[in-house]
Amino acid sequence: MKNILAIVGLLSLMACKSTIEEVSRGVIAEEAMVVAAHPLAAEVGLKILEKGGNAIDAAIATQLALAVVYPGAGNIGGGGFMVSRMANGEITALDYREKAPLKGSKNMYLDADGNAIPSASRRGHLASGVPGTVAGHAAAFDKYGSLPWAELVQPAIDLAAKGWALTPAEARGLNSNREAFLEFNTIRPDFFIAPENQPWAEGDTVKNQELASTLARIRDLGKDGFYKGITADLIVAEMERGNGIISLEDLASYEAIWRKPIQGNYKNYEFISMPPPSSGGIALAQMLHAVEDLPLKESGFHSMESIHAMVEAERRAYADRATHLGDADFYDVPLNHLLSKTYSQERMMSFDLNKASKSEDIKAGIFEVAESMETTHLSVVDAQGNAVSVTTTLNGGMGSKVFVGGAGFLLNNEMDDFSIKPGFPNMFGLVGGEANAIAPGKRMLSSMTPTILTKNGELFMVVGTPGGSTIITSVFQTILNVIEFDMGMQEAVNAPRFHHQWLPDVVRFERDGFDSLTLAQLRNIGHNMQPSGNMGRVDAILVLPDGKLEGGADLRGEDAARGF
């Protein structure tokens, strides 16, 4: 076995500021690393790397383990995106986003008077898009997998069948969803329902035999173990019991798609990120282009000037997102225009150093008070230098809240990422129009931003995060924390975040993370500053000048870096 130079578990599981300040240096590894949202999943990925599996193998095994131990976002009933850069420089973007079912339609979430019914796109059977995750894993494996497929799936089966100990946050998550699980399921999901008056607690062992059986079918039959046969029949039976619309045809016809990644430059760095149906890569490119020529470094980290400039870049990129972005297979996304550096820099000509701009074109979006962060990201680098950045999601926490009866996994509520009515905000307050309207077989617009950076042609960073609409701004700021503000990976991940998404016209900032003088200065020039809870859970890897890897596992969650 390879010499393990650094395996450091992150000590605190609480998202607590003093802890974040104490852990400013991440796990350091000599050769290879996985950073993911749950320690058990990161360990599964590490074992695959130690066995000689490559970064794609490790990413698949880690995602499947997350589907067991991190059910709020890790999934086989959702979808995601994988951006990879192989050691030989080959780059790819794999789209396994959910699709609208064939029986879906533009006005399916409107009542007879044309009013939006957001509850239907957010919870219950009608909220689910056709899942893409397993097709994504199979496609990634067919192209790049090196270990036998069964060895990548087996660790997740073992976790589900033998059980795993709940972390504090997982125990809280299951307890807080108890009522929703009882309300929205046609068959009671007993494996996650604690006995009455005896809530789950840290350390309790949970098993999910139904999920173990589903995963065993995936191990034995690959993609067909999910999209055909027993699992597909169970999904459709669940739909019929709950008045959902996903059909056998939807499942059998689902395909993951290899897409051309978004590529661009920021100074002497190149970024590689996800194209539509994610808005992530385009919006990230726009924001980086918008600030590239501004003196961020001289202004200083979290100075009024740097925050103001970055907020104005965010505002403009999100305004374009609302109008221009959707599934490019259905809508003509003006990619070249949006990605032109000149365009983003021209948009900043209205930027006034001493005054906030106003976002007042269309009806304002509305933030839910408790925004869900339940997407999940993982970053992997293997000993050969292959790098993988994966963001995957059920959308809201525990998705639609609906388990597929007899199959043990949750279905997504990704339909809410469509614009269910022009200008009507989704659960993240994001608005959209025709570009992101529902159509049968169309993929809903995402903010997921799995990203890889190179510097002078060499791997530099692997980065991404959950966080709904805040994903893109969290990735943007983490990158600039390293490049402009000279932070290491963990420090850049720890740094407090802010977010502007055009509508509503507010800057949200992580409460307690910003000094009061800077906040007052920003208010004075017209920004509507609003304190918020945590934003994002960035999991990232930085290649240090000596070639070692520094993991940044976000202490806002229970995330962990493991490496050797």
The residues annotated as belonging to the active site are 375
Query: At its nearest, how many Å lie between ligand GLY and the CB of residue 192?
Result: 21
Tell me the closest approach of the beta carbon of residue 443 to ligand GLY, in angstroms: 10
Distance in Å, CB of 444 to ligand GLY, minimum: 7
**Distance in angstroms (rounded) separating the CA atoms of residues 394 and 414:** 6
Q: Which is nearer to ligand GLY, 294 or 448 (CB)?
A: 448
* Nearer CB in complex with ligand GLY: 53/129: 129
Residue showing the smallest CB distance to ligand GLY in the complex = 446
In whole angstroms, the minimum distance from the beta carbon of 447 to ligand GLY comes to 4
Distance CA 194, CA 183 (A): 15
Name the amino acid, one letter, at 393.
T
State the CB neighbour count (10 A cutoff) for residue 53.
Answer: 24
Question: Considering beta carbons, is residue 225 or 450 the nearer one to ligand GLY?
Answer: 450
Strands, E assignment, 286-364: none
Catalog residues that contact ligand GLY under the rule CB under 6 A.
375, 393, 395, 417, 446-448, 468
Cα 261 from Cα 365, distance rounded (Å):
30
Please state, in angstroms and rounded to a whole number, the distance separating the CA atoms of residues 419 and 327.
Answer: 12
Closer residue to ligand GLY in complex, CB, 393/474: 393
Q: Which token pair is 269?
A: 């760095």
Provide the minimum distance between the beta carbon of 63 and ligand GLY in the complex, in angstroms, as a whole number: 15
Residue 395 or 473 with smaller CB distance to ligand GLY: 395
Question: Which is nearest to 312 in space by CA: 501, 480, 481, 474?
Answer: 501
**Residues 6+ positions from 383 with CB-CB distance below 8 Å:** 31, 32, 49
Of 276 and 468, which CB lies nearer to ligand GLY in the complex structure?
468
CB atoms inside a 10 Å sphere around CB 114: 8
Distances (CA, A) of 24 to 10, 221, 287, 453, 466: 11, 44, 26, 22, 21
- CA–CA distance, 297 with 274 (Å, rounded to integer): 27
CB atoms within 10 A of CB 142: 12
Nearest approach, Cβ of residue 378 and ligand GLY (Å): 15
